[in-house]
Amino acid sequence: MTRRIAIISGKGGVGKSTTAANLAICLAQLGRQVTLVDANFTTPDLTMHFGTPAGTPTLHHVLASEYTVEQAIHTHVSGLRFIPASIAIADMKKARYHRLEKLIEKLKGDYIILDTQAGLSSEVLSVIAASDEVIVVTNPEWPAITDALKAILLAKEYGAHVTGVVLNRVTNSKIEPNMKGLETLLETNIISVVPEDKATKEAVASRNPVVISDPDSDSAIAFKQLAANIAAVTYRPPSSFRRRMSRIFKRLFGG
């Protein structure tokens, strides 16, 4: 059975697209058939993570009936299948967004991961409608948490199952809210805590998701654990010795 999971956030800048990209790759690395869809119609970001060449067919072209969905699927080195979105305004105007739900139904595999626009727009609602469940991404900051609560309530109102919350960019500062109290407030389980990590920023700059560019980094391990939880498999993180050696080799050889 295919699981269609929308990655949503009430606010921009919380790491939603980073979570979508790394979760999708980790699921593919577990041997699952995964398709990642950039369903952020107006401000797509996933091409920054994968470096998709200009001029390739996109979701917008499929929604405008210019290409088939098969033609818009690109295969990443990880085995992940990826459908990018267009950044061209002309393509945004031509796309017929009401076709998204039927298009997503045609995609087969174990997981369909859909990245969305930040916020609570009609765009986001169309992606939620095309999904079976949602994961909400937020930061441990009160403006982001408040918007995450709105996103959770909206998803539930539209009948979507809320799988849980990914708490991203955590520094463990004393000013950050207590995890248990946060779960009580959001009435949703926190299924992953991803630390603030320089490796994640470096990965975006290199257009190579952190689980590939720095697989032993703190953030990469958190994303791998999240994927294992979603797939209901056991994940054993690398030992502290291996991680120290990995950092040494990276400093020495720039790998």
What is residue 243's predicted lDDT score, i.e. its pLDDT? 67
The model's pLDDT over 168-226, given as tens digits with 9 standing for 90+, comes to 999 999 899 999 999 999 999 999 999 999 999 999 888 889 999 999 999 999 999 99
What is residue 215's predicted lDDT score, i.e. its pLDDT? 93
Burial class (CB in 10 A: 0-12, 13-18, 19+), 173: exposed
Q: Is the pLDDT of residue 255 over 60?
A: no
CATH of the domain at 192: 3.40.50.300
d(CA 118, CA 44): 10
Domain span including residue 114:
3-253
What is residue 78's predicted lDDT score, i.e. its pLDDT? 87
> Amino acid identity, residue 113?
I
Share of the chain above pLDDT 70, in %: 94
pLDDT interval class at 142 (50, 70, 90):
very high
What is residue 248's predicted lDDT score, i.e. its pLDDT? 63
Share of the chain above pLDDT 90, in %: 75
Inter-residue contact 114 to 126 (CB < 8 Å): no
What is residue 251's predicted lDDT score, i.e. its pLDDT? 61
d(CA 167, CA 110): 25
d(CA 245, CA 176): 31
HSE-up of residue 84 (Cα within 13 Å, Cβ side):
21
> Amino acid identity, residue 211?
V
Q: How many structural domains are present in the chain?
A: 1
What is residue 150's predicted lDDT score, i.e. its pLDDT? 95
pLDDT (average), residues 84-100: 91
Q: Which of 61, 16, 27 is nearest to 41 (CA)?
A: 61
Q: Is the pLDDT of residue 253 over 70?
A: no
Burial class (CB in 10 A: 0-12, 13-18, 19+), 210: buried
- Measured over the CA atoms of residue 213, residue 75, residue 222 and residue 15, the dihedral's sign is positive
Structure tokens at 72: 């818009």
pLDDT (average), residues 39-46: 90
Can you state the angle between helices 218-231 and 16-29, rounded to 10 degrees?
Answer: 60
What is residue 52's predicted lDDT score, i.e. its pLDDT? 72
Residue found by looking up tokens 């790759």 in the block: 25
